[in-house]
Structure 1
């Protein structure tokens, strides 16, 4: 089985899934990516870029006959053996010339039809001939760099020393990208309100950061002060899971979420989830873990701050085993090996 994996936002949970598929499939698997930046632009333009840069191959670039016939009518597709090329698109003539010589010029930036990784580090969609091959993770920044703060490392022994488990303040985790679509404004406003009422809690703000960080993060860091237990991205997956294992509650305030890997991981580590009653969350989490308004979220956390033992005794009533590779691996294999159907 030959598989072409295309990921225009190669970072976070997207990268995690692509790397897992490439590792577990262990077949002729080609991965083509773009950096994890400006997802709204990637959604609009990445298809055009990949159309020009992914090389044709008889192993995986197939379409049902009815779709090829439609393309013939719409954009004038010419069939040439197992490969097909389209005319009339901006930059297509240059792209075509590069594809023909890609075997002799790997520096062209195109994905070769063999196992490997092709990651192009661009903000926009440049000419394919100018796209360098990169195998590096997308650029991220650490807002705590240079500061002598606890956020630079995660030391489990320092957190637990001198505090009985049941006596520790409620530990809240927020393990999401530091971007507006995760709605950090709502999350921090709720925590600031808890702080105003002199409620005791700890917070770990995890997740990856990029070049543009919403202003609310610097404001919240100052207001929350000693309530901050950890602040910033943890490159080590082990440290990240240790942080989740010490947390009591994991919060999502997302306005855009197709699945929510970070929430499932946190629940698997023993956290009590609180998610919006919207997006994909009602399909995954039982009703008691959902809230409809920021006021409801505040009231739930207010009660938990007063009685953290309630959360710590709680056993999650949902199921996470169904999201493991052991449960889904065979389904992914069947899907990727399936023959094209008329309804695809």
Structure 2
């Protein structure tokens, strides 16, 4: 079987998924085409045209299936490369623009354009898989709401068509962190393993830790993840946390694995997470995770320690996270973390294999 695998924003979970997919099905003849994970809005609207206009013979080869991540524009690629127009296509939705939090500087017109393009992309595919029911549900609801605002009604029932040609198929975890679950943990070592960007809200997390430190609680912090150019913004918090900080900034993969294996507690304050791979990795390694009761977390981490929180109110989020962490750091109400075996490649490989077989039969 020959498969063209397209990843137009090849970073983080997109790369993780592509690597896992190719490793799980080594007998497939894979052709992977990627674009770098930068210039988000440009990538969203131009990725298909970039590939279509590229003088690349791989786009003229015969394929049995095209698999594309959600940032990959199938519509323009198939329009400009007629040889690909009749090849079955499978679109994998890591996220959607309807449930993505909006920045203060984001124009409504840009957001609406991205949303409409994502509907077109889904209609162009023969099958669409969403990583979570949260992702699928918010996409379908948002798409229906957008189409009701358009000046003219689209023919037929396009969103029903997407709904009928879609399912939920999570991004599976590798076994990279499973062996760490049996290793000793440092109960008061808190690990942050997210990007430091606005949608992950590191300022809320650090504000909660400062309150805990002022209250005299003992903990250590490993602040991992990519700084996203914001590391300097948080120097006052770093200085205020003092010797509680044992790591500040991104580390090589081997060091990252060691920190995850030692972690007693993992925390998220995210405004955007459609599956939460970083938190799933922490549970896989045996840490107790503390997450807000929103987004995909109740679905993917049903045994997590939840705080109610509030996306729109930072003070509420900070206060409730502080109140949730305090008894954990005092040694009270600790419980054995429960990993999610259903999110592994060994558990999901058959479902992926069936989808591959159905689309190429």
TM-score bracket, normalised by the shorter chain, equals 0.5 to 0.7
Q: Give the CA deviation at 1:17.
A: 1.8
* CA distance, structure 2, for counterparts of residue 76 and residue 34 of structure 1: 17
Partners of 1:185 and 1:216 within 8 A in 2 = no
Q: How does 1:74-89 map to 2 (within 5 A)?
A: 82-83=83-84
Q: Which residue of 2 aligns with 1:36?
A: 37
Q: How does 1:1-344 map to 2 (within 5 A)?
A: 1-26=1-26, 27-53=28-54, 55-60=59-64, 82-83=83-84, 170-210=188-228, 212-213=229-230, 215-236=232-253, 238-286=254-302, 289-293=305-309, 294=317, 295-307=319-331, 310-311=333-334, 314-317=335-338, 319-339=339-359
* CA distance, structure 1, for counterparts of residue 293 and residue 21 of structure 2: 30
Partners of 1:169 and 1:200 within 8 A in 2 = no
Moved more, 224-233 or 287-296: 287-296
Gaps of 5+ in 1: 64-70, 86-164
Partners of 1:180 and 1:214 within 8 A in 2 = no
Q: Give the CA deviation at 1:40.
A: 4.9
Superimposed CA distance per residue, residues 152-175 of structure 1 (whole angstroms, 9 cap, x where no aligned partner):
xxxxxxxxxxxxx89x67111111
Moved more, 216-225 or 253-262: 216-225
Superimposed CA distance per residue, residues 130-159 of structure 1 (whole angstroms, 9 cap, x where no aligned partner):
xxxxxxxxxxxxxxxxxxxxxxxxxxxxxx
Partner SS state of residue 9, structure 1: coil
Q: Give the CA deviation at 1:201.
A: 0.8
* CA distance, structure 2, for counterparts of residue 83 and residue 8 of structure 1: 17
Q: 1:279 to 1:45 in 2, by over 3 A?
A: farther
Q: Give the CA deviation at 1:61.
A: 6.0
Q: 1:292 to 1:201 in 2, by over 3 A?
A: same
Gaps of 5+ in 2: 68-74, 87-183, 310-316
Q: Give the CA deviation at 1:225.
A: 1.6
TM-score with structure 2 setting the length:
0.60
Partner SS state of residue 346, structure 2: helix
Q: Which residue of 2 aligns with 1:115?
A: none
Partners of 2:191 and 2:260 within 8 A in 1 = yes
* CA distance, structure 1, for counterparts of residue 208 and residue 81 of structure 2: 58
Q: 1:50 to 1:251 in 2, by over 3 A?
A: farther
Q: 1:51 to 1:178 in 2, by over 3 A?
A: farther
Superimposed CA distance per residue, residues 199-229 of structure 1 (whole angstroms, 9 cap, x where no aligned partner):
211011112344x226543332222120011
Max radius of gyration: which structure? 1
Partners of 1:22 and 1:31 within 8 A in 2 = no
